[in-house]
Amino acid sequence: MSNDYLVHVLVLGLATTAALVPPARPRLLARAAFLAGMVVNEVPHLVLALLAASTAAAIWSGDLRTDVLSGVLLAGAVATAVMLILLTRRAARSRSVAEAALRAAGMDRAPARRSWWRTALTPLPIRPRSVRRLRNLRYGDHRRQRLDVLRRRDRPTGGPVLVYFHGGGYFSGSKNWEARGLLHHLAARGWVCVSATYRLRPGAGFEEHLADAEAAMAWARTHAGEHGADATTVVLAGSSAGAHLTSLYALRAKPEERPAAAVCLYGYYGRYYGRGADEAVTSTPFALPASEAPPFLIAHGSLDNYTSAGTARALAEKLRAESSQPVVHLELPGGQHAFDIVSSWRLTAVLDTLDALLAVIGVAAGGTSTGRSAGAVPSPPGVRRAEAFARPSDRHLEAS
C-alpha cells in the first residue's frame, strides 16, 4: 500500500467534508474548516479529476490490493468523489440563483451567459495580457495608503471607475489577493480599476479606516481621468471588511460624492469592535438612513461561517424598504467566505449579475459611460459608447 495514496485520500476527504458541511461552532474549528475547504469548494470538479487520476494511478501501479485497508481506502475515495459531485452540482446552481436574484430585484434583464466550461478549466485569476497593473501608487503618506490601478493597455477613454477595498477583519489583508476576477473583468472591458489598501488595527481605528476610504475615493475622482476614465462615474466595491467599509461609505457619502453603485461581497455588517450604538460615528450600515442609497449588489455564500448570510439578507431588506434604487441580493448556494479568491462559477455568477445591474442603471461595461450623475437611474438607460482611444504619455509609475 502506497503511503502517498493514503495521505492523498485522507487529505482530500477531510477538505471535501469541510467544504460540504462547514461547522459554524466552535470558532476555531469553523476557521480551520474554512481554510481546509476553501479551494475545494470553488473548484470541486478539478479536485474530482485529481482524485480520479490518483486512484487510477494507484490501481495501475498495484498499490491497491485485495486487503482490507485497500478496500477501506477505495471506499473512502468513492465517498469523497460523491461529495465532490454534490459540491459541483451546488456550485453550478449559481447561474440560476443569479437569474432569480435579478427577477426578485424587479429586473427582467437576464445575466450574460459567459462560458462556464472556460471558467471550469481556467480557475486561476490570471491578469489578461490586455490589462496593465500600475502598482503601489500613493494616496496618502502612511505605508498602507497605497493603491494599484488596473486599466487596459490601449487606454480607452470614457470608461467608469471601480474602487475596491480588500477584506481581513480590519487587522490584515492586502490588495493583492481577493476579487482579482472582478478587477480583471472590468479592466479588460475598459474600466479603470483602483484596488486600495488602508490602515489596519491595532495601529489604526474606525475613524482612520473611514478616512482612508474617503481619501482613496478622492484620489480616484481626481486622478482616474489621467488613465482615461470618466471620473464622474465611480462604483465602489469591497470584500468582507471591505464590504463593511463600502456599505458605510455608500450610505454616509454626500450626494455629490456618492458612488454610482455599491458592490458588497461576503461582508460583515455589524458594529465595529466594541463600538456601541451611542457612538458619535455609527459603525454599522443598519444604523444609517438608506433613503439616498445608491444601487446595491450584495453577494454572500449561504454557508459562510465567517460572516453571517442572514445579516446580508437583513441589509438587503433594509435597503429595499428605504431606498428607491435597485437592490440585488445574491445568496450563492454552498458559498463560503472568500469565494472570489479564484475565478469560479460563483464569482462568474456575481460578475454576470453585476453586468446586468450596471446595464439597468446606465453604467456601461466595456469602456463606455453614461456621463450621468452618480446614483442616477435613467429610464430607459441611455448608454453612449466612447469612440476615441487616447494614449497619453505614461507618468513615472511602477507598472507590470
pLDDT in tens, 24-36: 989 999 999 999 9
| CA distances for 127 relative to 80, 123, 392, angstroms | 33, 12, 23
* Residue 325 in this model has a pLDDT that exceeds 70: yes
Report the alpha-carbon distance of residue 13 to residue 81 in Å, rounded: 9
Percentage above 90 pLDDT, the chain: 77
> What does the angle CA 38 – CA 82 – CA 73 come to, to the nearest 5 degrees?
95
* Residue 379 in this model has a pLDDT that exceeds 70: no
Contacts 24+ apart (CB under 8 A), 272-279: 272/170, 272/206, 272/244, 273/170, 273/201, 273/206, 275/206
Report the alpha-carbon distance of residue 308 to residue 266 in Å, rounded: 8
Q: pLDDT-based confidence at 365, cuts 50/70/90?
A: low
Task: Give the model's pLDDT for residue 224.
Answer: 96
Report the alpha-carbon distance of residue 127 to residue 387 in Å, rounded: 25
Task: Give the model's pLDDT for residue 113.
Answer: 62
Q: What are the pLDDT digits (tens) for 35-56?
A: 999 999 999 999 999 999 999 9
* Residue 376 in this model has a pLDDT that exceeds 70: no
Report the alpha-carbon distance of residue 334 to residue 22 in Å, rounded: 10
Task: Give the model's pLDDT for residue 107.
Answer: 87
Q: What are the pLDDT digits (tens) for 239-292?
A: 999 999 999 999 999 999 999 999 999 999 999 998 987 888 899 999 999 999
Report the alpha-carbon distance of residue 295 to residue 2 in Å, rounded: 56
Q: pLDDT-based confidence at 388, cuts 50/70/90?
A: very low
Task: Give the model's pLDDT for residue 397.
Answer: 36
